[in-house]
Amino acid sequence: LNQPLLTAPDTLLASGARMPLIGFGTFPLRGQAARDAVSAALAAGYRSLDTAMRYRNEDAVGAAIAAGTQPREDLFVTTKLATDQVGYEREALAGSISNLGLAFIDLWLIHWPPGGSPGISSWRKLLEAREDGLVRSLGVSNYSIEQIDGLITATGVAPDVAQLSWSPIEFDPVYLDACRERGVQVSAHSPIRNTPRDHPVLTEIAGAHGRSVPQVILRWNIQHGVAAVPKSANPARMAENLDVVGFTLSADEMAAIDAISPHVSS
C-alpha cells in the first residue's frame, strides 16, 4: 500500500497498557493467506492483531510480525487460551509465544468460559503468567457478567478486557455499563458480520457522512469506548476499517444505532 498510514485511537486498560481501539481480526485465515493478510494489515497501519490458539494461525501471524518493520513496542498482540487447555494453561501459553515468535503476549484471553463456568483455576494461571512477565494484560472472551464476577469474587482481580460478539444488533447497554463499573474494557469480535449491512438506519447515517456502513459501525464502537477487531483479507477494506477517525456521529445518530438492538427499549 502506498497510502499514508492510518492510526487507530487507543484506550488505557486497567493493567496500565494501552490498547488500540481498532485491531485486525485474523479468524478464519490460516497459512499463507493469514500471513499475507497480517502483513497487509501492518502496512495499512494496524498495530493491534487478534489471534487465538484455536485459529491455528499464530505461526502465520508471527511470521508476518517478524517480516514487518514495526517495533515490538508499537504492536499489541492478543491471543486466546483454548477451552480444552484447562490444567495445561502454561504449556498452551508457551506454545502461543513460540508460534508467535514473541517474548510476551500483550493480551491473553480465556477464549470461552469452560463448561459455562468462570474458569477460576485457569484465571489463576493467567494471573501467574502475568506476574512472570509473559503476558501484559488479561481478559476473557464470550463471558457473561456473572462469569466475570465469578473471577473477581474468587481472585479479587477483574479482567482487563472482555471480548464478545458485539455489533449494533447485539448492543447491550447493561453489559457495557456493568463492564465499565468493573473497570473492564469491552472489545467487539465480529463487529460487522452480525448486523445487516443494508439496515436502513445504518445506510442512512453512512450516506449522510459519505462513509460505508462498516465504517459507521466501527465509529459507533469507538464513540462507545468499545474496541473492535474487524477482519478482512481485502487490503482496501482493511484500510477502510481503520479510517474511522475523520468523522463523528451525533448523539441522535448514536441513539438511533443503539436502538437497532432488541436490548434497547424504545
Partner 1 sequence: MSSLTQLQSLSHLPVADAVRVAEIGYTAVIDRFTRRLSLTDVSANVGRSVGNAGGSPAAFPELAAVGSPVWQEGAVWVFEERHTHGPYDKPGPVGFAISAQASGTQGAVAATVVLDEPTPRLRRHASGLSGALEAALALIRDGVEARAVAAAYHDAVGRADLAGQVPATLGVPVVAGAAHTLRVDAAKGAVLREGESLALMAFARTEDGVITFGTTIRVSSDGAQRLDGIPLRLIELR
Which CB sits closer to partner 1, 91 or 181? Answer: 91
Cβ at position 237, least distance to partner 1 in Å: 21
Look-up: residue for cell 484471553?
109
Q: What is the largest CA-CA distance in the chain?
A: 52
Which CB sits closer to partner 1, 30 or 263? Answer: 30
- Pick the closest to residue 44 from 215, 222, 242 (CA basis): 242
Catalytic residue among 46, 55, 143, 175: 55
Burial class (CB in 10 A: 0-12, 13-18, 19+), 145: middle
- Phi-psi region at 146: left, alpha or beta (left = phi > 0; alpha = psi -120 to 50): alpha
Q: How far is CA 89 from CA 26, 34, 93, 162, in A?
A: 22, 25, 6, 19
Active site residue 88: no
N-term to C-term CA, the chain: 44
Which CB sits closer to partner 1, 114 or 159? Answer: 114
Cβ at position 87, least distance to partner 1 in Å: 5
Cβ at position 105, least distance to partner 1 in Å: 17
Kindly list the residues in this chain that would bind partner 1 in the complex (CB under 8 A). 30-31, 54, 56, 59, 83-88, 99, 111-112, 114-117, 119, 121, 142
Cβ at position 27, least distance to partner 1 in Å: 11
Instruction: List the catalytic residues.
Output: 55
